[in-house]
Amino acid sequence: MDITVKNRKLSGWIKEVAEMCQPDDIYLCDGTKKEYDLMMSKLLASGSAIPLKKRPNSYLFRSDPSDVARVEDRTYISTVSKDEAGPTNNWIDPAELKKTMRSLYKGCMKGRTMYVIPFSMGPIGSPIAKIGVEISDSPYVVCNMHIMTRVGSRVLDILGEDGDFIPCLHSIGAPLAEGQKDVQWPCAPIESKYISHFPEESLIWSYGSGYGGNALLGKKCLALRIASSVAKREGWMAEHMLILRLTSPEGKQYHIAAAFPSACGKTNLAMMRPSIEGWKCECLGDDIAWMKIGPDGRLYAINPESGFFGVAPGTSYNTNPMAMDSLKENVIFTNCALTDDGDVWWEGMTDDSPAHTIDWKGKDWTPGSPSDAAHPNARFTAPASQCPVICKDWENPAGVPIDIFIFGGRRSNAVPLVSEALSWDHGVFLGATAASETTSANIGAVGNLRRDPFAMKPFCGYNMGDYFQHWLNMGDKLGSKAPKIFYVNWFRKSSDGKFLWPGFSDNSRVLKWMCERIDAKVEAKESPIGLLPKDGDLDIKGINISAENMKELMSVDKAEWKAEIPDIENHFSLFGSRLPERLNKQLKDLSARLG
């Protein structure tokens, strides 16, 4: 029960949490394979883990139907003043929230083991990395954290006696009375779930959910909500962005960071195989980028994660062969269907459905069943090192220098295939007004236009008006060494509702044009919304796309854009006096250019 750690802050915190949560035992994680196997053997013994015959060292889990996704309406940014949290976050006063949660935490780990998980976000010892410690009563969380972060004794060594860390407290909220049998997926009812962030203290408290980002507190909670707040204070950036390296036939490397809302092809782009001859793409990260200004004045990025926590449905050898090849072994699958031959399956994985599976709720499923075999948010947790196109520098502690930022969204009209920002401020305006038509992955009616600034709306840990200002400040610091900013839309449709652009590997053609703009190899033509490729400058050799469709893809209709202005004004009005005046100026300039 009594464990000893050298770090004084950690030692005190473990004692405090143990007294509040009252676990039967305490276990300090060391990050070894032996430990992972021990945790998985506990999960097998309890019936939670189902081994997969077809995939070595891989397991399927089924969550409780009430615990299948991030619960944004139970996610809180708790700051002393409500205005600091801003209009895009749920806010509760810290004293009130802590009082509520302390009462829930009291005795919540009875009958369970309290796991202490020291972890590094980013390569251990990197100047861009941060250390967290998650306390959890879930062995499922321990196994996932092993894959998604760098867990282990080396983290404690770096921490030493006085090093600082971000405390992350998690409980599934399901204490066991003596002799009580556990359930397959223990969790608390929805009204008792809280995913709480205290950015002023760099503290995370989560209660009641065992699923995904609600429980793997290194994921969105630390890597974005808390890290974005720390980054603002310390002068760096924590962004919801993929990172990729593109290498030209001449061997020149370009590093790209891109932010898209959900269902806009982020993971597909991160692992893309270019369709243009001689170009090579390598993945550095599919979800999060932490970036600091290096000694040479450029912006350097690391991927703070060590795994992929990806949405399974829709992932296939047609849409993302590299992701599929990453899932052959050592994977945790959650809420996928189980096939009769001991493999996983989900909608969109194969052209034909299996004749029979056991669905994500553990029931028989056959084609034509009224519900899906896999939950729409079914997930895989896989080591990034298994990706066939993982870049050799993905764990370089210094990071990679970013040349290009890309924003984008899913728009069936108005927005051209690609445009380049006129300036850094204009690029920040593009990020701040980024919008996407909703899909089944979002909450709300399908097809509505939803503003999702920088793809960070659910993840910014402080007032988003101040976040926009932070982007402007970073541009001021970077000066001429700032990355160029572009906006893309792979999803524009023709009048008969068909996609105009083939997408997937052909998106490399758009990236090639961006690289040519960086090197000043091609000029661009001006439009009211930004700089566009000149006719013939986008390499479309070898793809079947008509001149008429290319024209439509690149067209900018002033009337459509004028109709967009009131929506942008409404969006900006949310932020009141916290909206930077420089963004108001960008809006006025856009209106003037539209005439």
Catalytic residues, by residue number, are: 264
Cα distance between residue 536 and residue 189, in whole Å:
58
CB-CB contact of 331 with 382 (8 Å): yes
Q: Where are the beta strands (DSSP E) in 68-199?
A: 75-77, 113-121, 130-136, 150-151, 166-171, 194-198
DSSP 339-390: ETTS-EE-TTSSSS--S-EE-TTS-EE-TT-SS-SS-TT-EEEEEGGG-TTB
Q: Give the position of tokens 């883990």.
A: 49
Cα distance between residue 202 and residue 231, in whole Å:
11
> How many Cβ atoms are within 10 Å of 392's Cβ, its own excluded?
9
> How many Cβ atoms are within 10 Å of 538's Cβ, its own excluded?
20
| Edge-to-edge strands, sheet with 59-61 | 50-51, 59-61, 332-334, 379-383, 307-311
Cα distance between residue 593 and residue 588, in whole Å:
9
Q: What is the Cα Rg of the chain in Å?
A: 24
Residues 6+ apart with CB under 8 A from 594: 528, 558, 561, 562, 565
CB-CB contact of 211 with 68 (8 Å): yes
Phi, psi of 22 (to 5 degrees): 55, 55
Structure tokens at 406: 């890309």
Nearest CA among 197, 199, 170, 30 for reference residue 108: 170
CB-CB contact of 229 with 464 (8 Å): no
Phi, psi of 432 (to 5 degrees): -70, -25
Phi, psi of 173 (to 5 degrees): 75, 40
Cα distance between residue 221 and residue 418, in whole Å:
32
